[in-house]
Amino acid sequence: MQTRAGPTALLGLTILACAHEVPFRPDSYGSDRPFSPGSLVRVTFNRAPDRTPAWTPDGTGLWYSVARTDRGDGDHCLGRLPAGGGSRVETRCQTGLAADDSTDVFEAPAPATDGRVAYVHIAGAIGALTPYLAELVVAPSGAGAPQRRLPLPYAPPGRRGYDRASRIQWAGDTLVFLGEAWLFFRDVLAGTIDTVQTGVGVERLPPGGTPERVPLTDFASSVTSGDTAGVLYLTFVGDSRVIRLAGGDTATVHDFGTLGIARDVQVRAGRLVAVVGGDVVAGYSVDLQMPLQLDEGGYLYVVDLSSGTRAQLPDTAFRYRRPALSPDGRRIVAEVMTAQGEDLWAIALP
């Protein structure tokens, strides 16, 4: 498969991060609680996209990436919601003189048990096709400047590098994440800028160390830890299966078969959730010598791991992406693709 336009390789530049942690004022919606209570509930009502939800380890809150509507620079901040939804109780943004003339995006938050939050910070000139900075950082609990853990793109000698980190999670003080290739292109006819994000492999980043590729994870499309320490669950580009990786051994946990390509896997409390089928296509790029997967969302399924029972969750006129399953396995918050962009919706499981 050829990309729709020539991909641009990303070059990282090292700059000092500005101070942040200063909240911005959210829009007023006339209520501080979610609307339409029930099994499928819209959680966020931002006029701009809300993305990449992640539960706190104790299940009392939810971090996500929220686009600002009070500025013209296109910044995205991190917001924290209570478990039941409602108004944000914390917001972290990039601030300072250097941030005023750039677009700063915080995404893929990963909260730790001690209150730290790992996330990706991307910065670029306003309206630019590609950023001039990307980094994986860790912010302390409460106020304080984040510490850079990894500059991005990362190009290790002797193996394929990657441009971004996603599906970040903690294993003690080590960060586990999916390394992704990001291909930027401009649609001349439509006059739009778009990206293709595709998995390269799963990485482990110990504190003070360098990333190491987890064996048997090349071209994974998503990764999550399970209920047992040291166990990972993965999906792969173009594959309908969910794979369990433990101690160097792999096994198929569930195969969605003719339902389509599986991705965005989550496993908690004996339940597996994945996005399957929908608007996704995979193939091989001769130019890049690697498989690629273009994903615009799909259907949401839950599997009981003890019985193997599978069920499709409530459908909408649009498609799901990046579900986050609560630590007790009782609630999912996911991106729902709409004509206006992405919003977060919650689904209660029986």
- Please provide the distance, in angstroms rounded to a whole number, between the alpha carbons at the two ends of the chain: 41
Pairing of strands 231-236, 220-225: antiparallel
Q: What is the length of the chain?
A: 350
The residue that leads in pLDDT, 333 or 3, is: 333
DSSP secondary structure code for residue 218 in this structure: T
Q: Specify the 3-state DSSP secondary structure of 59.
A: coil
Give residue-wise pLDDT tens across range 236-271.
999 999 999 999 999 999 999 999 999 999 999 999
Question: Percent of the chain having pLDDT more than 70?
Answer: 84
Closest CA to 122 of 135, 109, 112: 135
Give residue-wise pLDDT tens across range 21-30.
333 444 433 3
**Cβ–Cβ under 8 Å, residues 228 and 208:** no
Closest CA to 219 of 170, 162, 276, 277: 162
Topology annotation, domain 40-153+161-348: Neuraminidase (2.120.10)
Burial class (CB in 10 A: 0-12, 13-18, 19+), 317: exposed
- Helical spans, DSSP H, in the chain: 97-100
The residue that leads in pLDDT, 10 or 40, is: 40
The residue that leads in pLDDT, 339 or 227, is: 227
Residues 6+ apart with CB under 8 A from 172: none
Task: Please give the pLDDT value at position 208.
Answer: 93
pTM of the model: 0.85
